[in-house]
Structure 1
């Protein structure tokens, strides 16, 4: 899997459901340099990084190189501190045709939902 977020996270495991949705378990690297600047003494996972992780996982699961077309209903609902909650669960409901891939994502840690969004990618 090619990633622009080098050493930012590790895909620990994933399952594919019968309906085609995926549940991925990732582990954030709390020592990544991004967290030194975002924010010093109070590390917060940047939202754009979470959006990139969803894209990279979708590319992995579909086997397609994707380009973001639209993002809607993007809601950051909780701060993801990589020292306190490095283990995340991402639910990806993926539908695709010849030209596009649509994803509904919910990212959580424990019982807390951290991110919800719907995105559309162009193949």
Structure 2
């Protein structure tokens, strides 16, 4: 397991399904999170790919199997995330077809939209090989 993945898992709390059957988790990244090292040294901002990895880690932890990011259909970023800020990631509209899982994810800080994604993941042997 990569250091980045370990740190994302360590930053995650409260992974659960809510009443609307959405998969939800909270994340709080410390000042020392590896993703902040080059993004940006004097004004640390959580990289967009780390936000996408939050979605991936949530799916892997919930499904107990490896997932491979196959396609970013859409990614919209609205606000930066800085060290110590708590964000909530909500995965909705999970559709599983064959060896693919299509999801829509929404990241918020309090009631403020941070990012929205439409992502396609593959799982099973294909994901384990990557």
Q: SS at 2:45's partner residue?
A: coil
How far 1:70 moved relative to its partner?
1.6
Structure 1 stretch 107-116 or stretch 24-33: which is displaced more?
Answer: 24-33
Aligned to 1:40: 41
TM-score (norm 1): 0.84
Dislocated runs of 4+, deviation >4 Å: none
Structure 1 segments unaligned to the other structure (5+ residues) = none
Alpha-carbon distance, 1:3 to partner: 5.5
C-alpha distance in 2 between matches for 1:33 and 1:60: 20
Is this contact kept in 2: 1:7–1:29, CA < 8 A? no
**Counterpart contact for 2:15–2:58, Cα < 8 Å:** no
Preserved CA contact (<8 Å) 2:75 2:117: yes
Q: Which has the higher helix share?
A: 2
Q: Which runs of 5+ in 2 are unaligned?
A: 124-130
- State whether residues 24 and 88 of structure 2, in contact with CA within 8 Å, keep that contact through their aligned partners in structure 1: yes
Aligned residues: 120
SS of 1:37's equivalent in the other structure is: coil
Structure 1 residues 4 and 103: alpha-carbon distance in aligned structure 2, compared to 1, 3 A threshold: farther
Partner of 1:7, secondary structure, is helix
Q: Which residue of structure 1 lines up, in the alignment, with residue 102 of structure 2?
A: 102
